[in-house]
Amino acid sequence: MLLPLLLLTAGLLLPHQPAASLKLTFEPYYEVVFPKKIDTQYKRDVQGKYPDVLQYGLHLGGKHLVLHLEKNEDLLSANYTETYYLPDGTPVTTSPKIQHHCYYQGNVKNDNGSLLSLSTCSGLSGLIQTEGQMYLIEPLKETDSEAHAVYEAQMEIPKTCGVDNTTYRKEIVVKKSRSGTSAEQQKILKAQKYVHLYVVADNSMFVKYNRSIPIVKTRIYEIINFVNVVYKAINTFVALTGIEVWNVSDQFKVVTSAAQNLGAFSDWRKNVLLSRNPNDNAQFLTNTDFDGATVGLAFVASMCTDSQSAGVNQDHSEPSIAIGATVAHEMGHNLGMNHDSNSCSCGANSCIMAPDLSNNMPRLFSKCSLQNYQDFLFSQMSQCILIVPPKEDIIAPAVCGNKFTEIGEDCDCGTVEECTNPCCDAATCKLMPTAKCAEGECCDNCQIKKPGDVCRAAKDDCDLADFCDGMSPVCPSDRFSVNGSPCKNGQGYCFNGRCPTHQSQFTTLWSVKNPNISTGESVALRIPSLLTHS
């Protein structure tokens, strides 16, 4: 029997308390602040309404804060699309080349534990986290220099939960190296990961936000800006490859059952969406009030699959970061993360994968979540997020110091303060004078390896070793054994780099068609995980 993973709160003990009762509320009094823009001298700034780097000063709680903001250049992918529908139900997809936007991330100066996730579209709005406290800021007028309200966010729920929070980690089977962490696995851990995300807002979202597609788009951007902040901390970049608004009618019947919605959305993604808008993962947003205390649902360890790399999320609270935390949690399940047990910690009051809620909005992953993620990365299901997008796929203007090697740059190792790559000049994003390369499997001590050096060892019978060509620091594309070659001691035949056997096909087939069959990894991939707030 498939077991759901439940994120619960003590509100579940009150059977008549509606799910919609979870919301961020604020203190009776808010503080009025007047942000003042500070001139910056960054040469890489793009002059205009939304420069690459911004700084604001403001007084909050008797202290002067300097907000250092950098534009979220990872928010949109190069093949970003927007889809809406004509009155007759015909989908219309456009590919706007959005070169400049108003979504920023950053920190409070002299506070290493701080976090900023802000929009500057019409004044400053979003999250300010400093000295362990979370604040939400929003403009009282529409400019960034006039009065803003700052609220100290609190939850309407107790901090503890009386529900047994079993993680079910033992249900997820991950293939590990018998000799511990191999050199190849170390490369995977150090490599940047990329999730090309597609977000769908249903008709109830369209109705909720004044039947305005631009307002729904803004809501999605704010949500994913926070998701991007959360995942960037674990070297994983989440970029929007597309958004879709069901402005005429829903493409499937949206109901109060989160499980039914997840099944229908996953089927729609596989049968309709992927053929026109390829993506690594899709998240569904709805204003429908899910049954009970549920506000989200996702499959575990399903990222990169056609049928299960998806999650459904209820737009349950006014602040976009609250929904961003929900989406980050559900995507965490897609990436193999289970709910945290009591022994898991992240150095904060609440972690992203915690099974209950606390007063502070979570933004960090626990050590347990990071171990789950590592296990998933070592499995064969993670291949799509390990593919580095070409420079041309990054649509924003090149920004030296953002750890993306963009057009016009030889390398990008981060800011001058954080760069540890001896081959790259962090100030210019150019190679050092004697360097021929800065990164790549075929780059060693800033020099390109000679032809014939192995850069990717054969993994198994159906994989072939790959060799450096002496010209590029990048290892050539992975090569596989010829389809039909025998593998696993004759138990199967290679097909596209894998060795399907009669037994593995039988297991996969029946664990998909009969959810009551307990057959290891295949069933684990179908375990839905409920993020429930009360």
Annotated binding site for Zn(2+): 329, 333, 339
Task: Choose, from 330, 406, 439, 521, the residue flagged as catalytic.
Answer: 330
Q: What does the alpha-carbon distance between residue 28 and residue 266 come to, in Å, rounded to a whole number? A: 42
The verdict on whether 330 is a catalytic residue reads: yes
Residue labelled with tokens 């049928």: 307
DSSP per residue, 58-94 = EEETTEEEEEEEEE-TTSEEEEEEEEEE-TTS-EEEE
**What Cα–Cα distance (Å) separates residue 436 from each residue in 209, 420, 439, 443, 444?**
52, 17, 10, 8, 10
Enclosing H/E stretch for 195 = strand 193-201
Closest CA to 234 of 354, 309, 113, 332: 332
Bridge partners, residue 136, by sequence:
127, 151
Closest CA to 314 of 380, 255, 396, 234: 255
Contact 153, 31 (CB under 8 A): no
* Cβ count near 268 (within 10 Å): 18
- Quote helix, strand, coil % in the chain, to nearest 5: 20, 25, 55
Q: Specify the DSSP class assigned to residue 509.
A: H
Phi/psi region, residue 512 (left: phi>0; alpha: psi -120 to 50; beta: rest), is alpha
Q: What is the largest CA-CA distance in the chain?
A: 73
As a three-state string, the secondary structure of 399-463 is CCCCCCCCCCCCCCCCCCCCCCCCCEECCCCEECCCCCCCCCCCEECCEECCCCCEEECCCCCCE
Residues annotated in a binding site: 329, 333, 339
As given in the structure block, the two tokens for residue 313 are 């999320």
Q: What is the phi/psi pair of residue 446, to 5°?
A: 70, 10
Closest CA to 241 of 78, 441, 479, 100: 78
Contact 295, 19 (CB under 8 A): yes
Enclosing H/E stretch for 38 = strand 36-38
Q: Beta strand pairing status for 115-119 and 103-108?
A: antiparallel
* Cβ count near 273 (within 10 Å): 20
Q: Specify the DSSP class assigned to residue 253.
A: -
Closest CA to 95 of 327, 344, 276: 276
* Cβ count near 15 (within 10 Å): 7
Which residues does the annotation mark as catalytic?
330
